[in-house]
Amino acid sequence: MLKEVNIASFKETLNVGAGRMKYLAWYFTSALVFRHSFLPINKLKVGLLRLFGAKIGKGVVIKPCVNIKFPWKLQIGNYSWVGEHVWIDNLATVNIGNNACISQGAYLLTGNHDFTATTFDLVTKSIVIEDGSWVGAKCVVCPGVVCKTHSILTVGSIATKQLEPYGIYQGNPAMKIKERIII
């Protein structure tokens, strides 16, 4: 049986984690520097992310056309890579380890809505991409997922649950297809 939904009853449950001015400053910085390809200077992008509260390690590469919702909820370890057109929709924290790769067009999604409630309450869960993990091009990592150390999510796959260490995952939903062997 369908329930009638009163639009006015939708709850505002997002904790932005920053004041209005900081959020507004980030909005324009992101639009001008990060989401376009005309300013590909990596050191500038890393410096701006740190200025806005992100914890960024050494040797991190942020490619052009990257969308980061809230930098103050982002941590990236040493020598990690964020490819072109990656969207880090971090309503909750996103922690990317050392020597990790988030390939072109990947989408890290930390929020969803409770479809069992008529108010569609926002539900957020952190994402962790551990050391040596690789999220392939055009992949989606869903809220609450942990990509354990050196796991791989292959091109176009959707991770809805934890990926085991050294596992290679493929499909929608992503299933383990084999072990990763590093020589």
Across 83-174, where does the E strand assignment appear?
87-89, 94-96, 101-102, 107-109, 111-113, 122-124, 127-129, 134-135, 140-141, 146-147, 152-153, 158-159, 167-170
pLDDT reported for residue 5? 46
Which ranges of 8-81 would DSSP assign to H, the alpha helix?
20-29, 42-51
Tokens encoding 147: 């990509």
Model confidence at 124, pLDDT cuts 50, 70, 90, reads very high
- Tell me the pLDDT tens digit for each residue of 18-67: 888 999 999 999 999 999 888 778 999 999 999 999 999 999 999 999 99
Residue 73: strand, helix, or coil? helix
Residue 13: band (very low, low, confident or very high) from pLDDT cuts 50, 70, 90: low
Q: Which residues of 94-123 are buried (b: 16+ CB within 10 A; e: fewer)?
A: bbbbbbbbbbbbbbbbbbeeeeeeeebebb
Q: Cα–Cα distance between 124 and 136 in angstroms, integer? A: 23
Average pLDDT rounded to a whole number, residues 158-173: 98
CA distance 60 to 78: 6
Tokens of 78: 């040493």
> What is the model's pLDDT at position 149?
98
From the candidate CATH numbers 1.20.144.10, 3.40.50.300, 2.160.10.10, 3.40.50.1820, the one assigned to the domain spanning 19-179: 2.160.10.10
Contacts of 162 (CB under 8 A, 6+ apart): 145, 146, 147, 148
Which comes out higher in pLDDT, residue 155 or 10? 155
Task: Write the burial class of residue 45 (CB in 10 Å: 0-12 exposed, 13-18 middle, 19+ buried).
Answer: buried
Give mean pLDDT, residues 104-112. Answer: 97
